[in-house]
Structures are given as C-alpha cells and as structure tokens.
Amino acid sequence: MDLQMLTDLYEFSMANGYFATLPHERQARFDVFYRRVPDNGSFVVAAGLQQVVEQVNNWHFSPENIEYLKSLKQFSPEFLDYLSQAKNRCFIKALPEGTPVFPREPILSICGPLIEAQLLETFVLNIVNHQSLIATKSWQINHAAQGRPIMEFGARRAQGPDAATFGARAAIIGGCTSTSNLQAASRFNIPAAGTMAHAWVESFPDELSAFQAWAKVYPDKVSLLVDTYDVLKSGVPNAIRVFKQVRAQGHEPVGIRIDSGDISQLAIAARKMLDDAGFKDAKITASNALDAHVVKSLLDEGAPIDNFGIGERLITSSSSPVLSGVYKLAEEKVNNQWVPTIKVSDSREKITIPGNKQVYRIYDNDHPEQAVADVIALTDETLQAPLKVVNSNPQATNANKVLVNFTAQPLLQDCLTPEGPQKIESDVFKIQQHAKEAIGQLPEATKRLVNPDRYPVYLTAKLAKLQEELIARADFAAQD
Amino acid sequence: MDLQMLTDLYEFSMANGYFATLPHERQARFDVFYRRVPDNGSFVVAAGLQQVVEQVNNWHFSPENIEYLKSLKQFSPEFLDYLSQAKNRCFIKALPEGTPVFPREPILSICGPLIEAQLLETFVLNIVNHQSLIATKSWQINHAAQGRPIMEFGARRAQGPDAATFGARAAIIGGCTSTSNLQAASRFNIPAAGTMAHAWVESFPDELSAFQAWAKVYPDKVSLLVDTYDVLKSGVPNAIRVFKQVRAQGHEPVGIRIDSGDISQLAIAARKMLDDAGFKDAKITASNALDAHVVKSLLDEGAPIDNFGIGERLITSSSSPVLSGVYKLAEEKVNNQWVPTIKVSDSREKITIPGNKQVYRIYDNDHPEQAVADVIALTDETLQAPLKVVNSNPQATNANKVLVNFTAQPLLQDCLTPEGPQKIESDVFKIQQHAKEAIGQLPEATKRLVNPDRYPVYLTAKLAKLQEELIARADFAAQD
C-alpha cells in the first residue's frame, strides 16, 4: 500500500508554510535516531530500511489525495499543484538492516528539498520504529534461547495486519527461523511453520482418533498438540501410541507441542515418557506466553525443550512495546551553504547532534573481531589515531577520551537517490546473518539481557565542539 | 489489502486434513472471545467488525496464492482445487462495534463449513484483537480526560502502517475527537488535527520569526508549539507577541502546545501569562507521553489543560499492548445434527462455553437505563423471570443467582451471510456515540480505571448444565 498519506497533518501544514515563506528549493537533512532502548537493553537491531526505500522511491500523490488535501481548505492552490507533480528527490543513507545501533546514532539520514523531506517523516518513523522494535525483541528472545530454533507464531495477536507481516520479517532479522504467517512467509521467502490447533483435536470423537487422523494425512509430519485434555494422562500417551503406528509404517515422528500448564514440569515428564517409549529423537516444542526471561528460566531449570513457538510477546514486544525513534533536522542549505542545526530543549537528553554525519564502529587493532566503541563524526572528517572524542551520552562522567590503535568502519551507506534505490540486501536470512555477525562483535557485557553494560558512543571533538557552539547560539536565539 | 494469506500455516494444514478425513460439508461454529481485559479493566470496547466483514465477504485465493500453497508440498491437489474455487459461505453474528463486552462473551460468532471457517481464524483475531485493544485504551484515556477533547497523534509510533490507520479509527470509537494521520482521516472521515513541529521553529533564524511566519500563512490557525527552546522564557512570551499582532489584524489566536518538561507546572505558569496578556480564550494543549493515569494526575493537580494530544501510549496501548482474544469451536453439525463442543484444559479459566449462543444485557425494570448484568444463553432459550443463572467466572463465589424484574436486550446481530454484508454501522462517530451510550449504562464502579468492580456475566442454568456435561464427557474422552 502507498503510504504518502500516512502522514501527520502538521507535516503538510509546515510544508505549505515553507512553500509560502522559504525558497522552494531550500535543502535539508533529517536524521532518524532514538534515545532509549526498549526493555532497558543497550542496543536496537535496525530494521525497516527495505520498506522505507520502496515507499520513498514510490512517493507521489494521486488525484484523490490532492482532492482530499484540497478539502481541508488550508493549503494554497500552488502548493497542491506542486504536490500533484511531486516525485522523490531525496537521498537516503542508512545502516544496513540488522546492524546493532546505539542511542543517538543516526539509523538513517534523509537529505533533499526541505518541503519534501518533511513530508516523509511520519511513515519513515512508523516503519523504522516498528520493525526495529520487533527485530530487537526477537534478538533478545533468541539470545535467551541459546541457539534453539524459534518459530514466530504471533499473527493473531499482532497490532493489525501489517504488524503481523512486517513483524514476522523483523522477527527473522532478529534470529527466528520460521513464521506461521503465510502472508509473511510467501512475501519474504521465510519457511512456514506450525502443525495443529486444539480445534483439530476437538473435531474428532476423541484425542486418539484426532492424532490418528493427522498421522494418516501427514505421515511424515507427525507433530502432535498434546494439551487439549490432559498432557500427561492423555496427550503424551496417545501421541506415543500414534508414534508407534507411524514408525511401524516406516516414518519417524516429529514430536509434540505443549501450549499450557507448567511447561517446565510437563516437558521433563513428557521427555521421560517419550524416551522410555523409544522416541528419543521426538522433539518437544513449547509455546504459550513465552518471552526472553521465561525462555531463560525454562532453560535454567533444565526443561528439555527443543524448539520454541513464540506469539504475542514477540510480535508486539509486549514488555516494552514502543521504540521512540525521532526525525530531527540536522542541517539546512541556506544561501547555497550547508548550515548545521540543533534542537535544544528543557531536557538535556533531547538535544540533537547537528550536521551531516557518519557513524563508525571502532575495532581494537589488537582484537580486530571486537568492536569497542562507536564514534559519530562529521562526514568531512577522517578518523586518525590519536583521536580525541567526547562521550555522546549527556549523563556520562569521564566524558573525554583519546582513541588509539583502532580501525574505524563506516556504517551509514547510500541506499536511495532520486534516480532510484541503490543495491541493498533484501534477502531476510542474509540480513539475519549480518545481524548475527555484527552483534557477535559487541562485548558480551553489552549483550547481557539484564542490566547490560553501556557501550560507549563518542562524538569526535570537532562534532562535540559544533554541538556546544550551537547550543550557545540557540540560547541566544531564545533570548532574542 | 486482501488478508486470506494472513493465516497461520496450521489452519491450512488442518483444513487440508479435514478435507481428507471428514465430510467436506461438515458445518462448524467458532466464537471469538477473550478472557482478560487489558490494564486490569473490567470490559473491552468491541471494534474491528467492519474490516472483518469486508475481509470475510471478499475471501478468495488468487492463482499466486494457490501456487505458493502448492510449493509447500503438503496439500492435496483436490484441496488446492477446492481453495481456488472458494468464496465466502460463512455467516457472522457480532456485537455492534463500540459495545462494551466482558470476559468469555462472544464478540463475534462465525458459522459455516468447518474447513472454511477454520481458515478465517488468524486474520479475524488479528483485526478484532487489535482494534478492540485500541478502542478500549482510548475509552480509558477519554474517561480520565473528563470530556476534554483528545487528538490521536500516534502514527509515527504505531506498530506498522495498519496499526496507525486502523488504530486511529479505533481511537475515535473509544472517544477521541480527531487524528493527525491523514490516511486514517481521509479513509474514515475523521477530522484531521495538528499544527507545527519543532522542525518549523528550527527552520527560521529564531523562534519569533518562526511564529510570525506561521501567523502570516495561517492567520486564523495560530496554534504555536512553545517548547523548542524554553517554554516560559522564550516560547510563551514570543507566542504572546505574535498573538497581539494577529489580534491587531482581526484574528483570534487558537493557543499553544507544550510537548516537554513538567506539563503541569508549565501549563499553570503559561495560563497565567496568557491570561495576564489578555488571551483568556487561548487554549493550552498538552502532549508528550500521556496515558490515562498521567491525564488524571494532571487534571487532579488542576493543570489548566484544554486539549490533549496523545501518541504512543494510546496507539500501542503501551501499558497493556495485547488483547488475547481467541477463536474457539462452539458446535459442529454431525450427521445433520448440531452438536455443542467444548475445549477443556489444565486451566479451568481456559474452558470454553459450548453451543450457539446469544448475549443479553440485563436491565433492572425499576432503573431501565441501568445495565446490571449480562446473561449468555443458548439461542433456543427465551429469557423469562424468574431466571436461574450461574456466574460465568470460574473464580466467582456465590455462583448461583435468580434474576427477576428485568428486561433482556440481545446484543449479537447478524452481520454477514454468504449473500453479502448486512447493514452495519460504518460511520465511526455514530459508533463512538453507541459506545458512549452503552458504556453510560454500566455501573460507575465497573467503569473505574483502577480496581473496577467486576460486572456479573451469567450463564443460563441450561447452558451451565450443558457445559458441565461436556466437561464430564471430555474427561471420559481423554481417558478413553
């Protein structure tokens, strides 16, 4: 669906205002970044770029859109005519999807005519905030599962159809192996997963007939839901009976799924029953209200779970369901000269980082596989040791530091020009692989799920100085 | 967008299994209901019916869908051929959107061929869960705001594009007056709201020039964002200067918006400055991370706020972001006879209510505007006093009760047949009005935002007896 109208009214009000008061070709740069990580984590897994690039590249207004905007009776005919001709003239640079990104670092940066770049804000934030949120939550749960496969099962509890489908994509970026949602599976080439619901079992006179009927239809996919009546008294014994029949016919059963009750105790007891009956390879899948801390607690208790199916707590990131990414002006071209801009505020935390920037991941030359910090620099800087930097976190003590003996890898890449998209990775499992590698380079303490160590993000001394100058100038403007 | 593929794989696996093992024309009824209310509230505001009816009515599979399903190599050619011809043959009855609904009551009930009704589960739940969740949160915030207008501002933080647009619709059902999201505004005929962002102020040399430029473009819409630099030292004084200029030109200013800092103190101080300057009618709008309890606390403190703009905490229902509605088999037609079904479980709370049911709202004849309880009955029952009922809540004590001197209003209405949709209300403000009236009939204690009194939901004695019989029979089946 086209998203040019998924835009807040005030974006159009401002664009019409700029059109009336400023040179139409005034250029501007906006950065997308966030300040706080969901679930008190230390980083976010960037996601959503593919959809952003598609939507911005395709940006236009239909005659119906223009008719609607006209009906609001607040836009000039000249502005509406301008919109009716508009097509994308913006440039986007961004972190590759799957890259771990820290507070205040640009996830993406959009540069183009001020009027047009302003009109992209709402839907760009919507996409990046949503997909990055779910990719991050997925990473957390997968980290807790220590390599056990996780199936994304949340479509029915997602916040609307897009949340189900783009959320499933983001879940794969964060490390899940499959999704139950066929819209996502077919659209993004993701393996589809799942077997039966309780309704199947209830549609037969008894549980055993239901399991037998399943085995008849899917002899090589005998994965049985064992908690419709009673897991240990009925479900597992009936599953074992059917497994024996299946094996007698030359097929090896897949396993069982437990979706209610005390998963840990039930899994331990079911494992023993399966093993005793000679089905040591039958897998146990757990589902029902799982999240990173529940998965960790089950595994800490030694619950013999082979796979997880995770629904609502992944697809909505329910423990922390908002990523508050923002879209802030970083520079403007005035009289043919780029001028860095800042937003100051009563809260120090809300002060923005001005200018056209690059984000570098810093590797220690003695441990080249280990990222030790990020540095945000102006694009006209080259990073050379010894490098004077300042902590970007306004709460940090020991703010100044000199970096030596490092290699700096630039992270922001060109993704879209007015001519069209650049080559960006669209294979969701290659993006997942990039996420695994890039997160793998971070310190272990940064990846801790509870109370992680804050990974340092620095500004170059030059950028920090620019920021301080602009804060002082803004104070002056405010008092003017 | 068509949602037939927003369906979990296991629905297709089961449908293909039914196709192979059961009579193809086996009829079934599924109920949608929930067990727990978000935010520990006592009821949910039903929403999403319009989109459900559109999607089910339009249900079909394209050649591309069939090709994809074929590629999964687990469905019979006969089943795929059946799907390629499929169109809706299901009937839907449902509560009108905006109706307050209690745990275990059917929000909607779908009856049709088992194979086909099974395939609707995922997207029907997705729509009803999402829209009802947001309508409920919206009602809670609007209840806290005691009639002050609330603008829905959450598009950029919603969980994907659909969540923004259908969420805005649900926010209106719950009582909001407008939305900033023009996709929602244009699609559902909702007033669009909003003025300027910080970026506008930053695009001019100083705040005063930015405000003056705005007033020049929108002389009759002078609503100014005053927290870009410093609310009380800069924003409000500059706003007052511009308000005076505007008034001198014959226009009355609209007001100011505060989006950061201590909203309560800032609003009190700003109100005094505006009043002292002669702008007693200028409105103060508050935004920034508001939710029902923050709105209540601001108003309890006497903060002079006229309007609220509410973003992420409304559009994601962030304090409780999941409504866990389920889709459960209630009856099946076997050998031309409808047979009620039940799902029992290790958790008593998860046991379903069997049969084809109607939900009645019970009014005390001495206070005909006051709803006192709901009764769930089988559709072949007529409700007459004295009526023996049993509390539907398995945790309730004093479970049995006799109702006298009441009027019973049936709530579930026919909405869709295989011939097409019945007339249902599509005007979102008429749905909002219905919600206001229906919620207005509930006891005050039921509407409390914190620790509400549980409103009684009863089963008729006949329905309770049927449920107990089926539980006993299920125990028998499990041991069989």
Please give the full DSSP string across B419-472, using - where no structure is assigned: TEE------HHHHHHHHHHHHHTS-HHHH-SSSPPPPPEEEEHHHHHHHHHHHH
Query: Identity (one letter) of the amino acid at A451?
Result: N
> Chain A closest CA to B372's CA: distance in Å?
31
Taking only the tens place, the pLDDT of each residue in A386-405 is 999 999 988 877 789 999 99
pLDDT band (50, 70, 90) for residue A344: confident
Average confidence score pLDDT of chain B: 95
- pLDDT band at residue A89 using 50, 70 and 90 as cut-offs: very high
List, in order, residues 6 or more apart from B271 with CB less than 8 Å away.
Answer: B284, B304
Mean per-residue pLDDT, B22-28 = 87
Separation CA A321–CA A323 (nearest Å): 7
Q: What is the pLDDT of residue A319?
A: 98
For residue B480, is pLDDT > 50? no
Name the token pair of B206.
């100083």
- R_g over Cα of chain B: 26
Query: Given this model, what pLDDT does residue A432 score?
Result: 98
Task: Give the pLDDT confidence score for residue B387 in this predicted structure.
Answer: 97
Chain A nearest-CA distance from B410, in A, is 28
Q: Say yes or no to pLDDT of A156 above 60.
A: yes
Please work out, in degrees rounded to the nearest 5, the angle formed at the alpha carbon of residue B230 by the alpha carbons of B227 and B234: 100
Task: From residue B204, give the alpha-carbon distance in Å to each of A23, A323, A342.
Answer: 12, 29, 12
Q: Euclidean distance between the first and final Cα of chain B, in Å?
A: 46
β-pairing verdict for A357-364 and A406-410? antiparallel
Mean pLDDT of B427-444: 98
Contact (CB<8Å) A28/B227? no
Mean pLDDT, residues B353-364 taken together:
97
With bands split at pLDDT 50, 70 and 90, how would you rate the model's confidence at A22? Answer: confident
Give residue-wise pLDDT tens across range B70-120.
999 999 999 999 999 999 999 999 999 999 999 999 999 999 999 999 999
> Cα–Cα distance between A375 and A388 in angstroms, integer?
10
pLDDT in tens, A220-231: 999 999 998 899
pLDDT recorded at residue A480? 47
Quick one: pLDDT at residue B342? 86
d(CA A167, CA A133) in angstroms, rounded, equals 9
* Chain B positions in Cβ-Cβ contact with residue A72 (cut-off 8 Å): 192
Q: What's the whole-number mean pLDDT along residues B142-157?
A: 98
pLDDT at B81: 98
- Taking residues A9-31, report their average pLDDT: 93
Q: Chain A residues with CB inside 8 Å of B69's CB?
A: 182
Work out the average pLDDT over B174-195. 97
More confident residue, A472 or A222: A222
Q: Under DSSP, is residue A372 helix (H, G, I), strand (E, B) or coil?
A: strand
How far is B199 from B43, CA to CA, in rounded Å?
A: 40
**Ramachandran category for residue B451: left, alpha or beta (phi over 0 → left; psi -120 to 50 → alpha):** left
Confidence band for B345, pLDDT divided at 50, 70 and 90: low
Of A6, A125, A346, the CB nearest to B183: A6
Contact B160 A118 (CB under 8 A): no
Asked if the Cβ–Cβ distance from B11 to A197 is below 8 Å, we say yes
CA distance B205 to A92: 26
pLDDT in tens, B216-239: 999 999 999 999 889 999 999 999
Contact B424, B341 (CB under 8 A): no
What's the whole-number mean pLDDT along residues A8-14? 97
Contact assessment for residue A401 and residue A389, using Cβ atoms and an 8 Å cutoff: yes
pLDDT for the residue B344: 74
Give Cα B271 to chain centroid, integer Å: 35
Residues A453-458, mean pLDDT to the nearest whole number? 93
Pairwise CB contact (< 8 Å): A185 & B227: no
pLDDT score of A413: 98
Q: How confident is the model at residue A474 (pLDDT cuts 50, 70, 90)?
A: confident
CB contact under 8 A, A9 and B196: no
Smallest CA–CA distance, residue B364 to chain A, in Å, is 37
Task: Name which of B361, B388, B369, B336 is nearest B456 in CA terms.
Answer: B361
Query: Among B7, B10, B66, B221, which would you mutate to test the A interface (most chain A Cβ atoms within 10 Å of its Cβ)?
Result: B10
* 3-state DSSP assignment of residue B125: helix
Say yes or no for a CB contact (<8 Å) between A163 and B164.
no
A246-296: per-residue pLDDT in tens?
999 999 999 999 998 899 999 999 999 999 999 999 999 999 889 999 999
CB contact under 8 A, A8 and B153: yes
**Which pLDDT value is given to residue B209?**
96
Q: How confident is residue A334, by pLDDT bands cut at 50, 70 and 90? A: confident
Least confident segment among A66-70, B22-26, B107-111, B250-254: B22-26
Angle subtended by helix axes A63-71 and A77-85, to nearest 10: 160
Specify the range with the lowest mean pLDDT, choosing from A225-234, A429-438, B3-12, B132-141. A225-234
Instruction: Work out the pLDDT band at B289, boundaries 50, 70, 90.
Output: confident
Residue B393 binned pLDDT confidence (cut-offs 50, 70, 90): confident
The C-alpha angle A42, A44, A45, rounded to 5 degrees, equals 135
- All structural domains of chain B, each given as residue ranges with its CATH number in brackets, are 9-119+325-479 (3.20.140.10), 148-315 (3.20.20.70)
Which residue in A9, A122, A312 is closest to B192 by CB distance?
Answer: A9
Residue keyed to tokens 């959450």: B154
CA–CA distance from A87 to each of A50, A58, B376 (Å)?
18, 7, 56
Structure tokens that stand for A70 in this block = 């006209």
Distance from the A57 Cα atom to the nearest Cα atom in chain B, whole angstroms: 17
Q: Which residues of A393-428 are buried (b: 16+ CB within 10 A; e: fewer)?
A: beeeeeeeeebeebebeebbbebbeeeebeebeeeb
The Cα–Cα gap between B279 and A329 comes to 32
Q: Tens digits of per-residue pLDDT, B292-316?
A: 999 999 999 999 999 999 999 999 9
A357-364/A367-378 β-pairing? antiparallel
CB A181 within 8 A of CB A168: yes
Sequence-separated (6 or more) residues with CB below 8 Å from residue B380: B356
| CA–CA distance, A175 with A194 (Å, rounded to integer) | 18
Residue of B nearest to A475 (CA): B229
Alpha-carbon gap, residue B293 to B303, rounded angstroms: 14
Nearest CB to A227 within list B28, B158, B346 = B346
Q: How many residues does chain A have?
A: 480
The amino acid occupying position B327 is Y
Note the pLDDT of residue A399. 86
| C-alpha to C-alpha distances, B349 to A203, A260, A261, B355, nearest whole angstrom | 21, 11, 12, 18
CA separation for the pair A143, A145 (Å, rounded): 5
Residue B476, pLDDT score:
63
| B313 Cβ neighbours under 8 A, 6+ residues apart | A322, B137, B141, B289, B290, B291, B319
Average of per-residue pLDDT across B58-78? 98
ipTM above 0.85, yes or no: yes
Q: For residue A194, list chain B residues with Cβ-Cβ distance below 8 A.
A: 8-10, 13
- Please state, in angstroms and rounded to a whole number, the distance separating the CA atoms of residues A61 and A2: 9
Q: How many CA atoms lie within 13 A of B45 on its CB side?
A: 31
pLDDT band at A455 (very low <50, low <70, confident <90, very high): very high
Nearest Cβ partner of B345 from A18, A206, A260?
Answer: A260
Per-residue pLDDT at A395 = 80
Q: What is the dihedral of CA B351, B357, B358, B363, to 10 degrees?
A: -50
Answer yes or no: do A156 and B261 touch at CB < 8 A.
no
